[in-house]
């Protein structure tokens, strides 16, 4: 029976130190590794997880685990800015466990398998969804018969046929949350109601085609777990020790009738824990009735991918929503008594100083509990990257620089220099959070909820200057 060690790189170490959102970062077990481990365990294979994000000395802890566990396979799932770290982790695995097979997965590896393999640190790239693929790899199936992988053969890239996406997500085993020690996961009150927080997915895929989006692994057809499976899984997470559930779907409300049925079942079965929708819902889908039902079911926070406060900029990035639709949706959630979070982007295609000013004004005019801005980046799997590459406007492919909050110029904007984009990233947060009306509302809210001291600590610990 093979042993597989699944690794989450230390992605939070230093990433947000110079950002304006570090006080609101959630600490939670990584759902992708839990899902992969669940598939391995169901197949009768051994699995362990190394979450280096929570380790004070990640390399030391990683080396120790490699020596003790002696895995046959080491799998690293990573995003674009963590490519260098992923390579290093694969190299360490080979140092500590000679003969180990190294696997790479995630959006970046799926998009650029040749680059990942040519570096020599990884033996196999898992392309796309990994639950079925990793089982076939780790039980020793011949690589040529495994769909959805890439590897090198005599210096030549070999890709097997694409693996079909999993149509019925109810077929997925439960994530192996038991492989995490939940004592080490603590999130601030800004990001959670209770600790520890558990991440959950109820669907995969996104039926939109936003220009900047890099989430291509799960495709554009939305596939969902049944409402009963979703609610059963949420109760199971409570049994394992989670006290707050964050649903991390690209769009929980892609099928509003299914989303409403999930909420109805939570009410019917008396779900006792708070839960949130922190990665966004589509403004097209929601209604007053839905938000009232979600609130009744225990939902305390919902996020919106607003991006810009200017209709022409939204159209440029293929964001199928208008400023008016955004305002209506945020107002409905606020009216239902749910906290609202808005995500914005500075330096979108079509942006100017004037449009970024208007975006800040728009954000301040909405009934938002929190707002977060990022700087626009063309990740390699996005349509924006392909467009800029074709136009000769990519300035750097040093993937270490591809961080939403602490980056230097990696692409040439049509209207703006990078320092101006960086300036407005900082201005957004200062203008939003230091308005007298916002401070006054927060004071009374925090006083009522017993969170005043937490917010004071957050303000004092943050970096508010550029």
Q: Which has the closest alpha carbon to 235: 227, 256, 277? A: 227
What fold is seen in the domain 186-433? TIM Barrel (3.20.20)
Cβ-based neighbours of 409, under 8 Å, separated by 6 or more? 395, 396, 417, 418
- Would you state the pLDDT for residue 281? 92
Q: Which residues of 317-460 form beta strands (DSSP E)?
A: 339-346, 370-375
The domain limits of the chain are: 3-159, 186-433
C-alpha span between 19 and 426 (Å, rounded)? 9
C-alpha span between 141 and 316 (Å, rounded)? 46
Buried (b) or exposed (e) across 409-436, using 16+ Cβ within 10 A?
ebbebeebebebbbbbbbbbbebbbeee
pLDDT, one tens digit per residue, over 258-302 is 999 999 999 999 999 999 999 989 999 899 999 999 999 999 999
The residue written with tokens 């609130």 in the block is: 295
DSSP reduced 3-state for 3:
strand
Count, residues in the chain: 466
Q: Given this structure, which CATH class describes domain 3-159? A: alpha beta
pLDDT, one tens digit per residue, over 181-226 is 999 999 888 889 999 999 999 999 988 889 999 876 778 899 999 9
C-alpha span between 92 and 95 (Å, rounded)? 5
Better-predicted residue by pLDDT, 23 or 248: 248
| Mean pLDDT over the full length of the chain | 92
Whether pLDDT at 312 is above 50:
yes
Contact (Cβ atoms closer than 8 angstroms) between residue 86 and residue 76: yes
- Would you state the pLDDT for residue 12? 45
- Would you state the pLDDT for residue 19? 47
State mean pLDDT over 416-424.
96
Query: Is residue 173 exposed (0-12), middle (13-18) or buried (19+ Cβ within 10 Å)?
Result: middle
- Would you state the pLDDT for residue 16? 44
pLDDT band at 463 (very low <50, low <70, confident <90, very high): low
Cβ-based neighbours of 403, under 8 Å, separated by 6 or more? 15, 81, 377
pLDDT, one tens digit per residue, over 102-154 is 999 999 999 999 999 999 999 999 999 999 999 999 999 999 999 999 999 98
């Amino acid at each position: 029976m093979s042993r597989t060690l699944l690794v989450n790189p230390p992605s939070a170490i230093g990433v947000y130190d110079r950002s304006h959102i570090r006080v609101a970062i959630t600490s939670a077990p990584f759902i992708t590794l839990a899902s992969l481990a669940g598939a391995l365990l169901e197949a009768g294979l051994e699995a362990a997880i190394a979450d280096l994000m929570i380790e004070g000395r990640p390399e030391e802890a990683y080396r120790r685990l490699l020596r003790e566990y002696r895995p046959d396979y080491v799998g690293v799932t990573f995003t674009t800015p963590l490519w260098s770290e992923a390579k290093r982790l694969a190299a360490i695995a080979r140092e500590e466990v000679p003969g180990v097979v190294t696997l790479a997965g995630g959006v970046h590896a799926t998009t650029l398998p040749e680059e990942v393999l040519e570096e020599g640190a990884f033996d196999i790239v898992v392309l796309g969804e990994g639950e079925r693929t990793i089982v076939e790899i780790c039980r020793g199936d011949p690589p040529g018969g495994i769909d959805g992988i890439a590897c090198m053969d005599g210096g030549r890239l070999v890709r097997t046929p694409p693996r079909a996406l999993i149509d019925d997500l109810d077929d997925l085993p439960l994530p192996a949350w038991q492989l995490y020690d939940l004592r080490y996961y603590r999130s601030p009150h800004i990001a959670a109601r209770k600790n520890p927080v558990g991440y959950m997915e109820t669907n995969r895929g996104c039926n939109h085609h936003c220009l900047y989006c890099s989430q291509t692994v799960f495709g554009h057809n939305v596939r969902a777990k049944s409402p009963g499976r979703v609610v059963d899984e949420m109760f199971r997470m409570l049994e394992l020790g989670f006290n707050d559930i964050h649903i991390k779907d690209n769009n929980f409300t892609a099928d509003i009738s299914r989303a409403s049925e999930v909420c109805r079942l939570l009410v019917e079965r008396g779900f006792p824990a708070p839960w949130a929708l922190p990665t966004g819902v589509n403004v097209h889908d929601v209604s007053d009735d839905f938000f009232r039902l979600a609130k009744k079911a225990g939902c305390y926070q919902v996020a919106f991918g607003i991006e810009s406060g200017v209709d022409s900029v939204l159209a440029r990035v293929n964001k199928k929503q208008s400023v008016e639709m955004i305002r209506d949706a945020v107002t409905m959630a606020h009216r239902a008594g749910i906290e609202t979070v808005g995500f914005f982007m500075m330096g979108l295609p079509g942006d100017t100083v004037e449009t970024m000013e208007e975006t800040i004004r728009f954000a301040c005019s909405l009934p938002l509990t929190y707002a977060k801005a990022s700087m626009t980046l063309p990740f390699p799997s996005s349509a924006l990257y392909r467009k800029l590459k074709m136009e000769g406007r990519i300035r750097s492919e040093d993937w270490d620089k591809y961080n939403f909050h602490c980056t230097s110029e990696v692409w040439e904007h049509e209207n703006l220099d990078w320092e101006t984009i960086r300036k407005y990233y900082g201005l957004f947060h200062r203008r939003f959070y230091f308005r007298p009306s916002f401070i006054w509302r927060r004071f009374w809210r925090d006083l009522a909820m017993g969170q005043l001291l937490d917010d004071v600590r957050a303000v004092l610990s943050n970096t508010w200057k550029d």
